A and B are shown apart, each in its own frame.
Chain A
Amino acid sequence: MSSSLIQHFRRPVERPFTAEERDRVTILFGGFTWKHEKLIQAAFQACGYHCQPLPNPKLSSYHLGRSFGNPGQCNPTYFTVGNLIQYLRDLEARGLSKQEILDNYVFFTAGSCGPCRFGMYESEYRMALENAGFDGFRVLLFSQNDGIKAKSGEPGLKFSVDLGMGAMNALNLGDIINVIAYNLRPYEVVPGETDRAITWVVDELSRLLRDRPVFEILERSPRWLAGHLARNKKWKDILNTLGKVREHLYGKPYRESLRRCRARLDRIEIDRLRVKPIVKVTGEFWAQLTEGEGNFNMFAFLERAGAHVAVDSIGNWVMYLLHQAKANARERKDVDASYAEAAWWQLKKHLWNEMHFQKKWTPLSLGERIWARQYQRAAEGLGNIAGPLLPQKDLARLAHPFYHSRARGGEGHLEVGKNVYYTRNHLCHMVLALKPFACMPSSQSDGVQSAVVNRFPEMIFLPIETAGEGEINAHSRVQMALTEAKAKAWAEFERCITASRIRAEDIRDYVSEHSELRNPLYQVPRHAGVAGVAANFVLHVARKMNNASRKFALHSAVQR
């Protein structure tokens, strides 16, 4: 007799998502802004998938998630899984049976092998779903094989050039539109105009991503070549891939759509003379991105309280991952070298070591460049209102004296790096770090920030732990720092007015006479050491006014 007679616990067998199910299964996902989600949905729909973003999670989702999950998780988990359970319950209430829900829906989420507990949340979602009565509901990871490459048969979700490029465009466009919305809204003359324009733009770009014609080399090439390529699969695939990439990034529909969006944005009238402190929001990925009760409605609150919110981009996170992969490759260079003990004159061995290293390094560098370039192109296409992605190398360098730049988990050194980068370069008046209560890496990051703040006297930094409850207390604490930031923004504005030697009223009069200055796409140059939109604008307008008066004086002198 042995203990094998006991039926020991085993985790449930996971059911794959297969190709045969593709036509009837809806992929559920969430965790981004509505702008990102709508565009991602369109990219998936373009490839023939049924795809549905979950509604924005509410406080009730959090409570539901907590009821079914393990105690002590960080709140993004509760919000996410509670939201999913609520959605599935709603489906049930609409008449779908449990089995139909299990058969026809899957939830896709991101995975991780990092030290943060985020990597373990896939299991947590499954357990909460099981506790809520949806035992066997499929939770699949983008980064894992079981979901994407089904164990048996053709995978339900197949990565293709169209899907990959569509997703990249969706993420980049979502990022840029999100930044534009927060950059324009505080200065809009007609309340609500920015939101209306952004909705229009998202709809337009969703249509583009969903309805654009799919590039197929055989359809686009002349008949003689098509026949030739049809027989040569290798060349057909290579040319087809290149053609698809080109079409996604440089195709006419894409360019035309960006142009229409730019034109729509251009209709928003803005008043750049409103003095607003720029609050850079950093922190944990989900808490700093979500727009709603998951982070105490912080963005809306900040704007109501008179701030200009500088939101972060998913693109920065992608660039961080690539940068970290490069940094790790660099750290391992000597360790992995085939000829670690090569003497200085053994050039062949050094060359071999270098080649070995470059095999890892080059694709990562290339990936970095492509992503940054495409982001920048899209940003320019939409009027150049959103700034470029952050220089990861600088962030790591600035953070490293305080927070080891290769320490993993959560946002790693990013919180410290961004705080120093934005402060030192005068890109904001205050940094607000949002993180879930008891977030492990973020809490330690806060411990380090206490020394960072001491090193940079001009820094206004506030960490806020988000949780299900406590919104009023959190808002109060933000107001505490925001008052300082406002004073800082006003002092800067007044300094600029003084420096310009022109009265604020005169500047306002000048702006009212020059409509292009109220145009959102009008490019105001940044001045060194000046963060505020109004302060930079004043310096710029003053220069224009001085130039104009010099020209006028010159013209008068000539006439005299």
Chain B
Amino acid sequence: MSSSLLVGIDVGSTTLKAVVIDAAQDRIVWRHYQRHDSRQPEVLFNFLQRMELEAGVCVGKSPMFITGSGGNSLASLIGAKYVQEVNAVSLAVEKLHPEVNSVVELGGQDAKIIVFKEEASGGPKKKIPTMNDKCAGGTGAVIDKVVAKLNISPEQLRNHPYNGVRLHHVAGKCGVFAETDINSLQKQGVCSDELMASLFDAIVLQNLSVLTRGNTLRPEVLLLGGPNALIRGMREAWMHNIFLLWKERQIALPEGRRPEDVIKVPADAVFYAAVGAVEFGRGERAETNYYSGKESLAGYIHSGRANELRNGQPGLVASSGELLEFKRRYSKTLFQPATFRSGESVRAFLGVDAGSTSTKAVLFSQSGEVLCKAYQLSCGDPIQDTRQLIGQLRQQIESRQARLDILGVGTTGYAKDVLHDVLCADVAIVETVAHTKSALHYYNDPHCIVDVGGQDIKIIMLRNGQVKDFRLNTQCSAGNGYFLQSTAQAFGVAAEDFADLAFSAEAMPVFGYGCAVFLQSDIVNFQRSGWRPVEILAGLAAVLPKNIFLYVANVPNVASLGTRFILQGGTQNNLAVVKAELDFIRSSFGKGQIQPEIIVHQHCGEAGAIGAALEAKCLYEKGRRTSFIGLEAVRNVRYQSVRSEETRCHFCTNNCMRTFLDVNVASPDDRPSSRQQEVGKRRVIIANCERGTVQDVNSLREIKAGLDSIRAANPNLVDRAAHEVWKSRHPALVRDAIPAPNWKASVRNRIALMRKRTQLRVGMPRILNMYIYAPLFSAYLESLGVPAENILYSDYTTGEMYRAGSSRGAIDPCFPSKIAIAHFHDLIFTKHLRKRLDCIFLPMFDVLCSPLVHTRACNACPTVALTPETVEAAYTKEINIFEENNIQYLHPLVDLSDRKLFAKQMFDCWAPVLGLSRQENQRAVEAGFEAWQAYERGIRQQARSALDMLERENRLGIVMLGRPYHHDPGLNHGILEEFQKLGYPVFSQNTLPLDEDLLERLFGDEVRAGNIAHPLDISDVWKTATAASSNMKIWAAKFTARHPNLVAVEFSSFKCGHDAPVYSVIERIIEQSGTPYFCFKDLDENKPVASIRLRVETIDYFLKAYREEIRARELSSNHELRGYVPRSTAQPLNDVNDGAFSAV
């Protein structure tokens, strides 16, 4: 009887599942599972067809229920009732597994967690369902992206293990962050097993720290959804981490059950949502929905979908005429390699660009032409890639019976250093420089080079052939070129067909520019709204220029960049992208007389490799002879990569993992004499820092001595502040004498509390504004008699600390706030367990102190201010962990700008703990402020000495425009140390000297002119000065802009709400003065080593050129006063070199 058949369909973001249940027997009689490749309606149509034939589902008779992220839009077409997926899953679980208390379902784009809680009052369990929001971080989508990148087959993926595999730090928060980390690890030689296991671990951690909203996943736990059901490693990762959690939280297992038995993955886990949809239907009060047939769905597939389109925009081309004209101008003629005569000796320079997603190589002639080129997608091993490419180049020449003679070798790209060491190349140059050289070689006076590669976007601005500025994408917009490619791949579209298909779309959805993960979510949403793949591809091409110019460059007025644009990078081979860029750039110029000239680099994909070859050529022309190991040696080179416990570096407490690359150049080339030293076995060490590049202690000593001398010559004030702020200032005791006992209980109580002060142990987390105000609070306590050694701080932020302690989190704020929960974990579960803590203190900073004048307010950021409340919620929601550990949690709201109010707030907080009198409280507050001011004075004095040194030696220093918490080495990712090692002293906005004579020099004229009322006034540049750190950042930007020996590097954490409104003003202040400005935005939990290195190296190149420029100007000008040089009157850089960057 077909009427007794109930149908449940689950339309997920990547797969479609369906069950037919015999209502009478309550048994599944038909089921099917299939990936839909974004063709949900088509696959559903096929399912319905089969259901009718194979299971006897009848139109008008079979009740039908549909669920899943794509179910809602299809429900009405087939007469089904839509059921929300979390509800469906929970119903299925309640029916099939009443014993289960937690469910984790990972889908393609969605992650859901359902916690069932027994009520104390009895009755049915309370359901706490959570589901990821817009961001698809921590879901199967992240796995898909990485699997595609690592080229792992579905079968391999199923069996990828987790247990027993070495883990590395990978950010699971977001697909782009994860991909960036994976890229970085892959380049270090980490094998795919370890990468995948690390990814599984990251996904689990992300879900535990955010999606559980702080609830413990209590036994029994059910793991559902495709990734959990199908991937062994994913299941193992869940089990491992949930067991750890149970152990830590002392969760008892049901009697007689082993841990392995209470985390279950049912055999038919993927069908639970579909089964649940049917369950929902059974309990539905309203009329039952019966299957209405496939006709409407068929109509929708063939024509209806187009009518549904909403909020779209016209396609990339308005007419075929426009397309023809565009193609006429921009279609590239196929590259024809040079012709080689038989027996000819082809003398050429080899350039290799080992990028994140592909490797490119060119042979460049002495006369400056590309002879031949080769390209291939990266297999994850840059040496292997390069060997193959060099083989291809040789083949092109040797197939004509000619002979290749390499005159010089240049490398660039992510793997440039490894290749440089292995090939004994002549030069390794950073990508930005390589791309600039290439563009300058081919095109006269470009104003803006737009390089869009697989992973990176680079925008290089030039004037008179000299680089004036550049922008690189942060990790958050990473993956743009590759993103287009992988999306096309997901739609079953070959990369070479992308443009033509995109041009065929008459309309397209409007994507919001920005993060690739959001674009990914948008794709799913647009598909649900009925947009076809070709239209989505067109929309993605259209959003790319917005990502380039608005998100990466942050230049809404593109016309301000100049009129000659060079588009290069592999992604520019896609004409749809070029068309979108063309339209975007032109729209900025309006219909005026001045129109931009937009040129696509004739070798856009190989521009980087050409730049590297050009650099090698340049060296050759200066007389250098190549150290290249030779073509035969390349062919025969053998190498072995080892990354294990044996390769771990123990030269510092970080104990970083290293990769040893044992290279054996067994067969020397035909001219061994000059290269004899490269022949034989060598070890190339890939390490995170200089110390790791050696193995023996003597070499280490040499390196360390070198580093120490660099550090001494280039003080890093950020690092010093980060360490000195926690030191005791040893304030004088200001406590009252212990009163004589009397009959009053209050006095007796006070005496007891006062006597306890010397034993009191106070913990403080090393986070947020404590990076400035710790001396105030420690001195306050010390002056009242709490011994300095009894004030304990949590450790500095590390990845391990975050991993160990973040699982109680319920939200996903900026990382500096999110890490607070892990610091408390460190205090409670490490410090306290070692030796008891009586209380933990973290004030809620409401208003901060500021040296600035005439600001509207001096507010702390609300995220920072309220972090102590979210921490309390995390540690008290299930059980009160403070109480359990006998720790008092003190988190008063404090206003540091009003000393009287602050004293009251401190008294209210501490009097019950310390037995304070108001008078001694007042004295302690004064002692606290004195200590804090002494710390501030001390660090600013050190900064002044460093600045004086810079002026004396006429060198450049870097000012980190970042918040106090960016002093935390775990938050600034050691970027500033890299600059220090390159020879730049480092300051921060909170350590800049405030000496009157200095301020007079920098701001005196403006004060006298009436532009500002005081050197510490920012009202001339910023009106809405309400946020303390933002105000300080703006002032520090003004300081930097006016000091000739300083340049600015802005730091900002992902999701920083107070930084965002001042991005532009900071940039304008700095750049209008002609001072170089750089930024590291979207800093977060992960440390994108490769991306950081690229930026640091580029900035270093840029600053060296800038220094040369200043020196040149100094020589040519008569300015004498203390080396001050007006930047805005800059002359073009003396022609000391042939390239924009090569002043170095």
Give A contacts to B, CB under 8 Å: 1-11, 59-60, 62-63, 66-68, 70-74, 112-117, 119-124, 127, 131-132, 331-332, 334-335, 402-404, 406-410, 437-441, 443-454, 457, 464-465, 467-477, 479-484, 490
Q: Let me know if B1021 and A334 touch, CB within 8 A.
A: no
Nearest-neighbor residue (CB-CB) of B845 within chain A: A115
> What are 21 A-B interface contacts by the 8 Å CB criterion?
A8-B1072, A9-B1021, A11-B1023, A59-B311, A117-B1061, A120-B1027, A120-B1062, A121-B1024, A127-B1065, A410-B862, A443-B813, A444-B866, A444-B867, A444-B870, A450-B213, A450-B810, A451-B872, A451-B877, A473-B69, A473-B525, A484-B129
How far is B880's CA from A451's CA once the two chains are assembled, in angstroms? 11
Docked Cα-Cα span, A9 to B1011, in Å, equals: 11
Find out whether the CB atom of B870 lies under 8 angstroms from the CB atom of A447: yes
- With a cutoff of 8 Å between Cβ atoms, the chain A residues found around residue B550 in the complex are 66-67, 71
Q: Knowing A11-B1021, A448-B873, A476-B69 touch, does A4 contact B131 (C-beta < 8 A)?
A: no
How many Å lie between the Cα of A62 and that of B1002 in the bound state? 41
Fill in one digit per residue for B1031-1046: 1 if any A CB lies within 8 Å of its CB, else 0. Answer: 0000000100111100
Complex Cα–Cα for A479 and B129 (A)? 12
Nearest-neighbour CB distance to chain A for B949, whole angstroms, equals 20
| In the complex, chain B residues whose CB is within 8 Å of the CB of A334 | 904
- Select one of A3, A5, A473, A479 contacting B134, CB under 8 A: A473
Q: Whole-angstrom distance from the CB of B587 to the nearest CB of chain A?
A: 10
**CB-CB < 8 A to A335: which residues of B?**
898, 900-901, 904
Instruction: Out of A6, A63, A464, A482, name the residue touching B1127 (CB < 8 Å).
Output: A6
Question: Which single member of B85, B518, B812 contacts A469 (CB below 8 Å)?
Answer: B518
Closest to A7 in B: B1128
Chain A residues, CB < 8 A from B311: 59-60
* B56-91 contact mask (Cβ, 8 Å, vs A): 1 or 0: 000000000000010010000000000011110000
Report the stretch among B969-977, B984-992, B1050-1058 that lies at the interface: B1050-1058
How many chain B residues touch A (Cβ–Cβ < 8 Å)?
Answer: 115
Closest 8 CB pairs of A and B: A409-B862, A447-B870, A72-B1060, A115-B859, A450-B810, A4-B1005, A451-B873, A470-B134
Determine if A468 and B512 form an interchain contact, defined as CB atoms under 8 angstroms apart: yes
B1120 → chain A closest CB, angstroms: 8
Provide the residues of chain A in CB contact with B1042, threshold 8 Å.
3, 6, 8
B1015 to chain A, nearest CB (A): 12
By a CB distance below 8 angstroms, the chain B residues around A465 are 133-134
B860 at the interface (CB under 8 A from A): yes
How far is A468 from B311 in the complex, measured between Cα atoms in Å?
12
Q: Is the CB of A448 within 8 A of B862?
A: no
- Residues on A with C-beta less than 8 A from B1030 are 120
Q: Which of A403, A474, A483 contacts B869 (CB 8 A)?
A: A403
In the complex, B585 has a CB within 8 A of chain A: no
Query: Are B522 and A469 within 8 A (Cβ)?
Result: yes
Question: Which residues of chain A have C-beta atoms less than 8 A from B214's C-beta?
Answer: 450-451
A9 touches B862 (CB 8 A): no
Contact B813 A444 (CB under 8 A): yes
Q: At the interface, yes or no: B169 with Cβ under 8 Å from chain A?
A: no
Segment with Cβ contacts to A, from B343-351, B445-453, B551-559, B759-767: B551-559
- Known interface pairs A11-B1023, A470-B133; A117-B1057 also in contact (CB < 8 Å): yes
Is B267 part of the contact surface with A, judged by Cβ < 8 Å?
no
Chain A residues closer than 8 Å to B1004, beta-carbon distance: 2
B residues less than 8 Å from A468 (CB atoms): 512
Q: How far is the CB of B1000 from chain A (nearest CB, A)?
A: 10
Q: Which residues of B contact A113 (CB under 8 A)?
A: 856-857, 859, 1026
| Per-position 1/0 for B617-634, Cβ under 8 A of A | 000000000000000000
By a CB distance below 8 angstroms, the chain B residues around A440 are 813, 861-863, 1057-1058
**Given contacts A70-B1061, A472-B528, A476-B72, are A402 and B811 in contact (CB under 8 A)?**
no
Contact A3 B1126 (CB under 8 A): yes
User: Judging by beta carbons under 8 Å apart, are A3 and B874 in contact?
Assistant: no
B513 touches A472 (CB 8 A): no
Cα–Cα, bound, A60→B84 (Å): 29
Q: In the complex the two chains form, is A121's CB within 8 Å of B1061's CB?
A: yes
Cα(A3)–Cα(B1123), bound, Å: 11
CA–CA, A457 and B115, complex, Å:
13
The answer, yes or no, to whether B682 is at the interface (CB within 8 Å) is no
CA distance A532 to B976 in the complex (A): 59
- The answer to whether A464 and B1021 touch across the interface, beta carbons within 8 angstroms, is no
Chain B contacts for A6, CB-based, 8 A: 1042, 1073-1074, 1126-1129
Complex interface residues of chain B between 1114 and 1128 (CB less than 8 A to chain A): 1119-1121, 1124, 1126-1128
> Within B83-129, which residues are at the interface with A (CB < 8 Å)?
84-87, 110, 117, 119-121, 126-129
By beta carbon, the residue of chain B nearest A468 is: B512
**With a CB–CB cut-off of 8 A, which chain B residues contact A444?**
811, 813, 817, 862-863, 866-867, 869-870
Q: Does B514 contact A (CB under 8 A)?
A: yes
Within 8 Å by CB of A71, from B1027, B1060, B1074, lies B1060
Contact with A along B996-1010 (1 / 0, CB 8 A): 000001101110010
The residue in chain A whose Cβ has the minimal distance to the Cβ of B1121 is A1
Whether A4 and B1009, one on each chain, are in contact in the complex, defined by CB atoms closer than 8 angstroms, is: yes
Q: Which residues of B contact A132 (CB under 8 A)?
A: 556
Residues of B within 8 A of A (CB): 69, 72, 84-87, 110, 117, 119-121, 126-129, 131, 133-134, 213-215, 285, 311, 510-514, 518, 521-522, 525, 528-529, 546, 550-551, 554, 556-557, 809-813, 817, 844, 846, 856-857, 859-863, 865-867, 869-870, 872-874, 876-878, 893, 898, 900-901, 904, 1001-1002, 1004-1006, 1009, 1011, 1020-1024, 1026-1027, 1030, 1038, 1041-1044, 1055-1065, 1068-1069, 1072-1074, 1119-1121, 1124, 1126-1129
Given A115-B1026, A116-B862, A472-B69: A1 touches B1124 (CB 8 Å cut-off): yes
Q: Which of B813, B865, B1060 contacts A447 (CB 8 A)?
A: B813
Partner pick for A123 among B866, B900, B1024, B1073, CB 8 A cutoff: B1024
Question: Which residue of A has the minimal Cβ distance to B867?
Answer: A444
Closest to B846 in A: A408
**B1121 x A2 contact (CB < 8 A):** yes
Q: Is the CB–CB distance between B521 and A473 below 8 Å?
A: yes
Interface centre among A113, A117, A132, A335 (most CB of B within 10 A): A117
A189 CB, nearest partner CB in chain B, Å: 19
A67 to chain B, nearest CB (A): 6
Q: How far is the CA of A356 from the CA of B133 in the complex (A)?
A: 50
Please determine whether B1060 and A119 come into contact, CB atoms closer than 8 angstroms. Answer: no
Note all chain A residues with C-beta closer than 8 A to B120.
457
Identify the closest chain B residue to A306 (Cβ): B286
B1061 touches A120 (CB 8 A): yes
Q: Which residues of A contact B84 (CB under 8 A)?
A: 476, 479-480, 482-483
Q: Is the CB of A74 within 8 A of B133?
A: no
Are B1026's CB and A9's CB within 8 A?
Answer: no
Which chain A residues lie closer than 8 Å to B1041 at the CB level? 8-9
Closest A residue to B1075 by beta carbon equals A6
- Inter-subunit contact A9/B1073 (CB<8 Å): yes
- Of B285, B1005, B1068, the residue contacting A2 (CB under 8 A) is B1005
If A11-B1020, A67-B550, A457-B126 touch, whether A59 touches B866 (CB-CB below 8 Å) is no
Q: How far in angstroms is the closest Cβ of chain B from A492?
A: 14
B residues in contact with A5, CB < 8 Å: 1126, 1128-1129
B514 touching A71 by the CB < 8 A rule? yes
Nearest-neighbour CB distance to chain B for A485, whole angstroms, equals 11
Is the pair B285, A115 in contact by a Cβ cutoff of 8 Å? no
Known: A113-B1026, A119-B1026, A472-B528; 18 extra A-B contacts, CB below 8 A, are A3-B1002, A3-B1043, A59-B311, A63-B510, A67-B556, A131-B556, A407-B869, A443-B811, A445-B866, A447-B869, A448-B870, A450-B215, A451-B874, A469-B511, A470-B521, A474-B133, A480-B87, A484-B127
